[in-house]
Structure 1
Amino acid sequence: MDKPQLLTKSHPPTWLKILVITLIGLGIFFRFTHLGQKVYWYDEIATSLAISGHTLAEVKQEVFSNLGNNQGVIPAITLDKYQHINPDRFVVDTVRYLITSDPQHPPLYYVIVRLWAQVFGDFPTGVRSLSAAISLLVFPSVYWLCLELFESALVGWVGMAVMGVSPLQIFFAQDAREYGLWMVTILVSSAALLRAIRRENFWSWAVYALALVLGFYTHLLTGMVAIAHGIYIVISQQFRFNKTLRNYLLSSIAACLIFLPWLIVIITQIHTATNLLSWITFKTDSPFDLIGIWLSRISRIFVDFNLASDDAWVNNLPSESPLSYSIPTIIGSLFLIIYIIIFLSDRLSTNIRLFIFLLGGFPGLTLLLYDLIFGGIRSIYFRYQLPLYLSIQIAVIYILAFHLFLEKKWQKNVFQIIAVGLLLSGLVSDVRFFQAETWWPQIGGKNLLAMSQLINQSNSIVLVSSKNDYNLGVILTLSHNLKPKIGLLTIQNDQLPIIPKDYSPIFFIDDLENSLAHQLQKDKTNSLKLVYPLEGFWQLDKSRKT
């Protein structure tokens, strides 16, 4: 263990500090530029709806009531009010929306973004700028965790460099959701736990409890991080009930008690939450496909060129097998995981490697095993695996620091090339992100953009169905890119309204299994085609087939 001790005593050289500051500067540039360029996708629409102060039930009642009473076509801009702050609604109304319409999302981020939007604007650029600002907290957070975990400022500087250009960090810095804040709470709570173990005083454990509370009120999967922390405490204390274990239990119980009000909300609204999360129960044909995608997405932590074939497969779209597409990334991810396990087992103390393995391995593998046993695709959604991805980043950060500053000359030269390649790959990924209009985790984002462009090209009308909440969400998403003149016409209980003759073509959102599409398919006087299967986006041309 003498080499890690040497690393602990090493001070960051001036050239490293200059490099890190440069990379952080580039990272800040990529985080804050083109905030409004990418499509404002389905999940971000939910954020805007939350800060508007309207509930989903209010939107449905008011929108469809107005459309129905109008007995005619109304402009798409009618929906705009549900994507902007209502001056007559307040923060409490944002919380009310979450309670009644989206209870699986705790309120911390949404309360903050509501207050932020009142100052910086409620358009996509203003709302996303909060995520960009929060992402800056990753730098001191990862530095603190590296100090507590490795007792090395040098590793902390390397950590800030890697986080500065990580495509994982850049994406969530421009996503108007809570996941950037969740990453900060994971890093901070982990560092606070290690500090509390080291100091063993009231205030250190109070800071850990507070960090857990912030995590709980940011994302429910913080519970898995807290369990991983608990397993680490139990094992590292050799299964003895001592002062450290007692303090951990007291801090965790205090955090859970403070989170109890929202836990009651989740329990009382479990039916709503279950319905909203029904999409994660999609079952794969083969467990090898699930494992293949799970592995291939690990590579996107460091290198991401916006290739999304596996995402198309997950959403049941025609595409080649994810395994044939992702074999290089699967092999690369497997090699990385195996190397991390071997290297950390050889170079680090039992407690340090145990902490890293549990932080990412417990949440990541639990989700994967649950999907393999009971079915579902929870484990391959990028945002749910953030504890795993952060732990892999931490491991890679230490490995780079170790080889760059402590190894023999030839090994140091090899890892200098690897480090340069890793950072350049991250920068190339960031440039591609900078130029893109959509990014692969924005499910259906490219299609939604193409759909709005198709609608805007002609004197068309969009049918709005009151039967499916998802359909309403898609229409709200489209409304951000539709021209004000585009018309909307309601469909009540799959009963087609009288469609004005001067509108053609006609577009609508409908599931393949629903009756509306079947009704129209039976009408031989019109041409009906499914343009985008994932969204159930149909085009109806009012002309006799030839």
Structure 2
Amino acid sequence: MRNLSLPNTWFGFFLIVVLVLGVFFRFVNLDKKVYWHDEAYTSLRISGYTSAEVNQQLFNGQVIGIEDLQKYQRPNSEKGLIDTIKALAIDDAQHPPLYYILVRFWVQLFGNSVAVTRSLSVLFSLLVFPCVYWLCLELFESPLVGWVAIALIAVSPFHVLYAQEAREYSLWTVTILLSSATLLRALRLTTKDGNKTYHIRAWGIYAATLALSIYTFPFSVLVGIGHGIYVIVIEGFRFTKKVAAFVLASLMAVLLFSPWLVIAIATWSETGANWTAVPIPLIAWLKTWGIHINRAFILTQGDFGFDTLLTYLTLPIFLILVSYSIYFICKNTKKEVWLFVLTLMGTLTLALVLPDLILGGQRSTSSRYIVPFYLGIQLSIAYLLATGITSARFLEQKFWQIVMAALISAGIVSCAINSQAETAWNKVVSYHNYQVSEIVNEAKAPLLITNSFGINFGNSLALSYVFEEKVRLMVVPGNTQPDFMNILNIPQGFSDVFLLNLSEQFQEKIKKESNFKIEPLYNDNFLWLSKLVKP
């Protein structure tokens, strides 16, 4: 594999411009997009309150205001850091505490606005650039591949969207790259350097970075398994000193994570992710996987974003490009290179895809769960482009320069459009929160009635960011429907009464047993808003 370097000064300038644009897109309009269901849970966790406490103190059928909801969306004197950790352990042990501890400190230092809360994710996303560059140096021994990878990630709509979200996924991206680079470094030093002190230190750093990655998101265990498969195959399935060092380092990482592992096992509940096991039609599953490919390079709209002309036109192109890049890297690099990319892409992905296909479900349809897959295809395309644009053949060089310019241009245009949008595909159940809030906010003195079942719990908190202060809510706990007599005797002073995500059976009961009428106002896959019309 030849050493690839920057072809000329102008190209270096072009890459720097792309990087600057990528940084700009991460910071611009940081608070414009809807603060959605999962982000509201982030704020709930850092407040230190549990879901049970919110249900007991707030979601109990009483009429409440926006400020009452916001109390559970910021740190306060009633709850400390230990309460944040306890709340995670009790309610959501599948999310380890590292990110939430960091974001709590961040918000305490700089304030609890949407922009501030999200800005920590932006800063983490900037660390992706040096980490992917280091990984490319270790893997390809090429600065050019590193720079091309930085350019692709800088304006990737997928990475920019998650850089602007108050969740742990940009930090997870950093730790995946960091643990991968430190693994390759440890393997290299074990091969070239006879100093055992360096070996121990290098493998210790790998253990620490892998533990940090697991403390960020538990799917890092599968990334570590992929690392193990890579080491074992490279060593010819023999128990060499590299394999032994990897095993010891991995055990150290697990040992470091064991305190939270014990907590997670003791408090584990499937309620947080049981939606992933719900079967969906195969055609919908295949469409979603097609969208996974597109989202690495171009903006998609809607909840799933498949049924658009742009998707139908671009998906075949991206599928061909990704497939060819994988073929190209396998054909033109040593096994130590292409195998690493394939195990990075495939281990976690297969662990989610196979249960979907065998048992049914949608575990692999969530883009945020397959960050290693995105990184793998971007590494393979970066190597393809870096090789192509430095080709000795003039026509081949020009062709790949055009392909690279087109890819980066598509990313820039997508990010520019996305920067002006109020919502995005990764907002899922809260995609249309602004539309719902506009309807409710138009009323003179509105009351919104809902329950705290399923997505309604988190979305009630999320809606507090877009409702005006005049809006009042009545949230009843769990899947309970509001008391029928309470509906018939709405407190005085409300000009309009809205019903959000209440069952059809309950609405039919109102129609049959009273003079009230139900006027449908808004309906999408996740939000059903209607209005109670008085006789």
TM-score under structure 1 length normalisation:
0.91
Mapping 1:423-502, distance limit 5 Å:
423-458=408-443, 459-465=445-451, 468=453, 470-491=455-476, 493-494=480-481, 495-496=483-484, 497=486, 498-502=489-493
Give the match for residue 308 of structure 1: 302
Give the match for residue 213 of structure 1: 211
Give the aligned CA root-mean-square deviation in angstroms. 2.0
Deviation per CA, 1:85-143: give whole Å up to 9, x if none.
11332221111110111111010000000001111211111000001111110110010
Look up the equivalent residue of 2:370 and give its one-letter code: Q
Cα–Cα, structure 1 residues 103 and 219, in superposed 2: closer, same or farther, change >3 Å? same
Cα–Cα, structure 1 residues 484 and 418, in superposed 2: closer, same or farther, change >3 Å? same
Mapping 1:282-297, distance limit 5 Å:
282-285=278-281, 287-297=282-292
1:360–1:392 CA contact under 8 A, matched in 2: yes
2:329–2:383 CA contact under 8 A, matched in 1: no
Mapping 1:143-292, distance limit 5 Å:
143-200=133-190, 201-271=199-269, 274-285=270-281, 287-292=282-287
1:54–1:93 CA contact under 8 A, matched in 2: yes
Cα–Cα, structure 1 residues 491 and 522, in superposed 2: closer, same or farther, change >3 Å? farther
Q: Matched residue of 1:364: which SS?
A: helix
1:528–1:538 CA contact under 8 A, matched in 2: no
Look up the equivalent residue of 1:125 and give its one-letter code: A
Rounded to whole Å, the distance in 1 between the matches of 2:318 and 2:354 is 18
Deviation at residue 540 of structure 1 after TM alignment: 2.7
Deviation at residue 503 of structure 1 after TM alignment: 2.5
- Of the structure 1 ranges 339-348 and 202-211, higher mean CA displacement relative to structure 2 is found in 339-348
Give the match for residue 531 of structure 2: 540
- Of the structure 1 ranges 486-495 and 167-176, higher mean CA displacement relative to structure 2 is found in 486-495
Give the match for residue 42 of structure 1: 37
Look up the equivalent residue of 2:19 and give its one-letter code: I
Deviation at residue 362 of structure 1 after TM alignment: 1.8
2:160–2:415 CA contact under 8 A, matched in 1: yes
Rounded to whole Å, the distance in 1 between the matches of 2:310 and 2:276 is 23
Give the match for residue 193 of structure 2: none
Deviation per CA, 1:413-456: give whole Å up to 9, x if none.
11111111111111101101111010111113331111111111
Deviation at residue 11 of structure 1 after TM alignment: 5.1
Deviation at residue 543 of structure 1 after TM alignment: 3.2
1:292–1:323 CA contact under 8 A, matched in 2: no
Mapping 1:377-396, distance limit 5 Å:
377-396=362-381
Give the match for residue 90 of structure 2: 100
Deviation at residue 12 of structure 1 after TM alignment: 5.8
Rounded to whole Å, the distance in 2 between the matches of 1:139 and 1:59 is 39
- Of the structure 1 ranges 343-352 and 202-211, higher mean CA displacement relative to structure 2 is found in 343-352
Rounded to whole Å, the distance in 1 between the matches of 2:204 and 2:57 is 46
Give the match for residue 505 of structure 1: 496
Rounded to whole Å, the distance in 2 between the matches of 1:455 and 1:96 is 35
Q: How many residues were matched structurally?
A: 519
Rounded to whole Å, the distance in 2 between the matches of 1:528 and 1:383 is 38
Deviation at residue 158 of structure 1 after TM alignment: 1.8
Rounded to whole Å, the distance in 1 between the matches of 2:507 and 2:263 is 37
Cα–Cα, structure 1 residues 277 and 521, in superposed 2: closer, same or farther, change >3 Å? farther
Rounded to whole Å, the distance in 2 between the matches of 1:177 and 1:491 is 27
Q: Matched residue of 1:136: which SS?
A: helix
Deviation at residue 501 of structure 1 after TM alignment: 4.8
TM-score under structure 2 length normalisation:
0.92
2:499–2:532 CA contact under 8 A, matched in 1: no
Deviation at residue 58 of structure 1 after TM alignment: 1.1
Cα–Cα, structure 1 residues 445 and 137, in superposed 2: closer, same or farther, change >3 Å? same
- Of the structure 1 ranges 193-202 and 19-28, higher mean CA displacement relative to structure 2 is found in 19-28
Give the match for residue 131 of structure 1: 121
2:446–2:497 CA contact under 8 A, matched in 1: yes
Pair 1:120-2:115 in alignment: no
Rounded to whole Å, the distance in 1 between the matches of 2:423 and 2:459 is 16
Pair 1:55-2:50 in alignment: yes
Give the match for residue 336 of structure 1: 321
Look up the equivalent residue of 1:14 and give its one-letter code: T
Q: Matched residue of 1:376: which SS?
A: coil
Deviation at residue 354 of structure 1 after TM alignment: 0.8
1:293–1:323 CA contact under 8 A, matched in 2: no
Cα–Cα, structure 1 residues 461 and 148, in superposed 2: closer, same or farther, change >3 Å? same
- Of the structure 1 ranges 139-148 and 330-339, higher mean CA displacement relative to structure 2 is found in 330-339
Cα–Cα, structure 1 residues 363 and 197, in superposed 2: closer, same or farther, change >3 Å? same
Q: Matched residue of 2:52: which SS?
A: helix
Deviation at residue 460 of structure 1 after TM alignment: 1.6
Rounded to whole Å, the distance in 2 between the matches of 1:358 and 1:284 is 27
Deviation per CA, 1:524-545: give whole Å up to 9, x if none.
522224522433433233234x
Rounded to whole Å, the distance in 1 between the matches of 2:268 and 2:307 is 34
Rounded to whole Å, the distance in 2 between the matches of 1:324 and 1:288 is 17
Q: Could you tell me which runs of 5 or more consecutive residues in structure 1 were left unpaired when the two chains were aligned.
A: 312-320
Q: Matched residue of 1:489: which SS?
A: strand
Deviation per CA, 1:60-85: give whole Å up to 9, x if none.
111145x54xxxx4433221101111
Rounded to whole Å, the distance in 1 between the matches of 2:376 and 2:214 is 19
Cα–Cα, structure 1 residues 407 and 381, in superposed 2: closer, same or farther, change >3 Å? farther
Give the match for residue 196 of structure 2: none
Rounded to whole Å, the distance in 2 between the matches of 1:329 and 1:94 is 44
Identical positions, percent: 37
- Of the structure 1 ranges 86-95 and 241-250, higher mean CA displacement relative to structure 2 is found in 86-95
Pair 1:5-2:2 in alignment: yes
2:145–2:386 CA contact under 8 A, matched in 1: yes
Look up the equivalent residue of 1:40 and give its one-letter code: Y
Cα–Cα, structure 1 residues 525 and 153, in superposed 2: closer, same or farther, change >3 Å? same
Rounded to whole Å, the distance in 2 between the matches of 1:482 and 1:408 is 60
Cα–Cα, structure 1 residues 538 and 309, in superposed 2: closer, same or farther, change >3 Å? closer
Runs of 4+ in 1 over 6 A off after TM superposition: none
Q: Could you tell me which runs of 5 or more consecutive residues in structure 2 were left unpaired when the two chains were aligned.
A: 191-198
Cα–Cα, structure 1 residues 162 and 490, in superposed 2: closer, same or farther, change >3 Å? closer
Q: Matched residue of 1:462: which SS?
A: strand
- Of the structure 1 ranges 530-539 and 433-442, higher mean CA displacement relative to structure 2 is found in 530-539
Look up the equivalent residue of 1:516 and give its one-letter code: F
Cα–Cα, structure 1 residues 483 and 20, in superposed 2: closer, same or farther, change >3 Å? same
* Corresponding residue to 1:403 among 388, 396, 408: 388
1:510–1:516 CA contact under 8 A, matched in 2: no
Deviation at residue 331 of structure 1 after TM alignment: 2.2
Rounded to whole Å, the distance in 2 between the matches of 1:82 and 1:150 is 48
Cα–Cα, structure 1 residues 190 and 129, in superposed 2: closer, same or farther, change >3 Å? same
Q: Matched residue of 1:485: which SS?
A: coil
Deviation at residue 296 of structure 1 after TM alignment: 2.6
Deviation at residue 340 of structure 1 after TM alignment: 1.9
